């Protein structure tokens, strides 16, 4: 990646890559450059064996306030339809194969809410606000807001959010199943990093297949998904880490996983 400006990349703990969205003056609005830099960072993290988990965050005021409205102001329908690069970026987010945790403070609106939903776990600071306000712009969500939100919170809450454009707070998001945990705002990132560290210490192939299996719950009919899960379970018996995990339990010691 050539000198990203719209994101900041750090390695705060072993196995954990932290990506911060970095357009504070625009509440981290997702302009094309940011989307590209984020996609490149995730591709790199996905290919780097030293990275086990990615934590994605913004700043105190905003995780991201959505697509950059100023950038999209003059677009024609043909331009929007032809935006293959943008679609490819979003594909990179939702197909990211390793666990991704979003630490959300402030606004997660429109594409910002959709980006948070690409994460596997969302930890939100009290005061975080989630919403799909596209209807206020004469639009609808375009990166999964009508689909992933509905699967996460159910039709009633999704309809309320998408049709009114009103935001919900962290408590409502927790009650609805959109997020996994609430933390004091100043501790949301720490908590996300703590969860990331826990996951990074597990057997990487098992973690990867676990993520894949859980995601199938929303995509496959139950019988096929159960069958898929059983096969992934069996597949793990071929790994060194499975032998190590079981041996460590029997020998009453901590396992040391190698990712094979």
Applying CB under 6 A, which residues contact ligand DAK? 26-27, 29, 65-70, 86-87, 90, 107, 109-111, 133-134, 136-137, 142-143
d(CA 66, CA 138): 14
Is there a catalytic annotation at residue 224? no
| Residue nearest to ligand DAK as judged by C-beta position | 110
Of 111, 112, 125, 245, which residue is the catalytic one? 111
Task: Work out how close the CB of 34 gets to ligand DAK at its nearest, in angstroms, rounded to a whole number.
Answer: 11
For the CB of residue 247, give the shortest distance to ligand DAK in the complex, in Å: 46
Quick one: which of 88, 134, 79 has its CA closest to 111?
Answer: 134
Closest CB to ligand DAK among residues 139, 226: 139
Q: Is 111 a catalytic residue?
A: yes
In our burial notation (b when 16+ CB lie closer than 10 A, e otherwise), range 100-111 reads bbbbbbbbbbbb
Output the CA–CA distances (angstroms, integers) from residue 47 to 53, 69, 86, 96, 141, in the order listed: 12, 32, 21, 10, 30
Nearer to ligand DAK, 93 or 257 (CB): 93
Asked about 166 being catalytic, the answer comes back as no
Cβ distance to ligand DAK smaller for residue 58 or 110 = 110
Cα-based distances in Å from 224 to 206, 216, 228, 235? 20, 9, 6, 16
223 assigned to active site:
no
Instruction: Compute φ and ψ for 100, nearest 5 degrees.
Output: -130, 130
Minimum distance from residue 132 beta carbon to ligand DAK (Å): 8
Instruction: Tell me whether residue 90 or residue 130 sits nearer to ligand DAK (CB atom).
Output: 90
The one-character DSSP state at 134 is G
- Which one of 67, 102, 124, 200 is the catalytic residue? 67
Are 50 and 87 within 8 A, CB to CB?
no
Least Å from the CB of residue 66 to ligand DAK: 3
Which residues participate in catalysis according to the annotation?
A: 67, 111, 114, 134
């Amino acid at each position: 990646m050539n000198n990203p400006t719209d994101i900041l990349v750090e390695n705060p703990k072993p196995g954990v890559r932290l990506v911060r969205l970095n357009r504070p003056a625009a509440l981290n609005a997702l302009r094309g450059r940011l989307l590209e830099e984020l996609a490149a960072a995730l591709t790199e993290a996905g290919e780097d064996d030293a990275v086990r988990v990615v934590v994605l965050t913004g700043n105190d005021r905003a995780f991201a306030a959505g697509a950059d409205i100023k950038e999209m102001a003059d677009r024609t329908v043909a331009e929007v339809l032809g935006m293959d690069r943008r679609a490819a970026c979003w594909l990179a987010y939702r197909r990211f194969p390793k666990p991704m945790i979003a630490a959300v403070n402030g606004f997660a609106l429109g594409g910002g809410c959709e980006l948070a939903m690409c994460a596997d776990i969302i930890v939100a600071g009290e005061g975080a606000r989630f919403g799909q306000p596209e209807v206020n712009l004469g639009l609808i969500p375009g990166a999964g807001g009508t689909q992933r939100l509905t699967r996460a919170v159910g039709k009633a809450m999704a309809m309320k959010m998408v049709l009114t454009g009103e935001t919900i707070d962290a408590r409502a998001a927790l009650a609805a199943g959109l997020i996994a945990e609430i933390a004091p705002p100043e501790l949301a990132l720490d908590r996300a990093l703590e969860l990331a560290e826990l996951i990074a210490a597990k057997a990487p192939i098992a973690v990867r297949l676990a993520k894949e299996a859980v995601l199938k719950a929303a995509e496959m009919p139950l019988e096929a998904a159960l069958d898929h899960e059983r096969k992934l379970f069996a597949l793990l018996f071929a790994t060194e880490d499975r032998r190590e995990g079981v041996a460590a339990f029997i020998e009453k010691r901590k396992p040391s996983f190698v990712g094979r």
